[in-house]
Amino acid sequence: MRKAIRGTVLASAILMAAGQIAVAQKAGDAPPPTTEGCPTQTVDVFGKTDGIAYRYWMLTLQKLVKEDDRKGLADVMNYPLQWNRKDTSVEIRNRNEFMKNYDEIFTAELKGKIATQNVKCLPGDDEGANVANGELRYSKFATDEGFRITSITQPGIVKTHKLPWE
């Protein structure tokens, strides 16, 4: 029941954000869709509308992290979540495993990088948005789940494994 309520609240927030995007675009307050001055390819590769949606969801992620909203963050994970740490890659299979490992996953360093992520120049590629040089990745899902965090890499860890398409 609680998950259904949180899902409804999250869906409402996304719909409200979508309405705010339309209003902000008319008022000129929306994050700029231009990649001018950005050092890498941005989420605009997904098109103007999705690029804006990725940016607004980044603002939501920054708010969840700033408020240390563990339950809210658990709700936006795509399970199994790939967590790359030290010398190993771990699958976080469910919400309970995420909550148990939260302090190790969301370190102060990662939280700081998320908080300071430049939303205008939010990098994007075929895997979705790359936050903090790919230490956190999220993507938009075709279902009504919206955006989900798909992987987290501990800061300072060099990716040692290849993804299936690499």
- Which residues are bridge partners to 137 per DSSP? 130, 151
Domain boundaries, the chain: 2-153
Query: What does the pLDDT profile of the chain (166 residues) look like in tens digits?
Result: 555 545 544 444 444 444 444 444 444 455 445 567 899 899 999 999 999 999 999 999 999 999 999 999 999 999 999 999 878 899 999 999 999 999 999 999 999 999 999 999 999 998 899 999 889 999 998 776 789 999 999 887 755 444 443 4
pTM, to two decimals: 0.73
Which DSSP helix (H) or strand (E) runs through 125?
A: strand 124-125
Question: Is residue 157 a contact partner of residue 107, using CB atoms and an 8 Å limit?
Answer: no
